[in-house]
Amino acid sequence: MPTPASGTPPRALRWAVAGSVIVMIAAGGLFYYASQLAAAKRKVHNNEVTVTIHPHSCEPNALTVPAGFNSFRIVNASERAVEWEILDGVLVVEERENIAPGLSQVINATLAPGDYAITCGLLSNPRGTLHVTPTAESEARANARPSMVAFIGPLSEFRVYLSSQGSALIKAVDALSQAIAADDLVQAQALYIPAREAYQRLAPAAQRLAELDNAINARADYFEKREQDPGFTGFHRLEYGLFDQRSTQGLIPVAQQLQANAIQLKQQLLAQSLPPEQLVSIVARTLHNLADTRANSGEEERYSHIDLSGFAANLEVARKVVDLLRPLLARKNADLLHSIDSASTSLEAELNGLKTAQGYRTYDTVSSEQRQQISNKAKVLADALDGIDPALGLSGL
Partner 1 sequence: MKKTPLALFLALGLLHTPLPVLAATAPLDLVQPVSDYKIYVTEQLDELASNTQKFTDAVKKGDLATAKKLYAPTRVYYESIEPIAELFSDLDASIDSRVDDHEKGVTAPDFTGFHRIEYSLFSENSTQGLDQLADGLNKDVKDLQARVAGLTFPPEKVVGGAAALMEEVAATKISGEEDRYSHTDLYDFQGNVDGAKKIFDLFRTQIEQNDKAFAAKVDKNFATVNKILAKYKTADGGFETYDKVKENDRKALVGPVNTLAEDLSTLRGKLGLN
Given the rule CB under 8 A, which residues bind partner 1? 11, 14-15, 17-18, 21-22, 25, 56, 80-83, 85, 87, 90-92, 95, 97-98, 119, 122-125, 147-149, 151-157, 159-160, 163, 270, 273-275, 324
Measure the CA–CA gap between 386 and 327, rounded to whole angstroms: 18
Closest CB 70 distance from partner 1, rounded Å: 15
Measure the CA–CA gap between 250 and 195, rounded to whole angstroms: 19
Contacts of 325 (CB under 8 A, 6+ apart): 154, 279, 280, 388, 392
- φ/ψ (deg, to 5) at 73: -95, 115
Q: For the chain, list the strands marked E by DSSP.
A: 48-53, 58-59, 62-66, 68-76, 82-88, 91-99, 104-111, 114-120, 128-133, 355-356, 359-360
Q: Which is nearer to partner 1, 22 or 144 (CB)?
A: 22
Q: Which is nearer to partner 1, 122 or 170 (CB)?
A: 122
Closest CB 51 distance from partner 1, rounded Å: 17
Q: Which is nearer to partner 1, 43 or 56 (CB)?
A: 56
Task: Please name every residue paired with 101 in a beta bridge, in sequence order, or none if there are none.
Answer: none
Closest CB 98 distance from partner 1, rounded Å: 4
Quick one: CA dihedral 270, 276, 281, 284, positive or negative? positive
Rg (CA), the chain: 32
Q: Which is nearer to partner 1, 159 or 371 (CB)?
A: 159
Closest CB 369 distance from partner 1, rounded Å: 38
Q: Which is nearer to partner 1, 43 or 80 (CB)?
A: 80
Measure the CA–CA gap between 337 and 116, rounded to whole angstroms: 25
Closest CB 203 distance from partner 1, rounded Å: 20
Q: Which is nearer to partner 1, 113 or 327 (CB)?
A: 327
Closest CB 163 distance from partner 1, rounded Å: 6
Q: Which is nearer to partner 1, 78 or 375 (CB)?
A: 78
Closest CB 257 distance from partner 1, rounded Å: 27
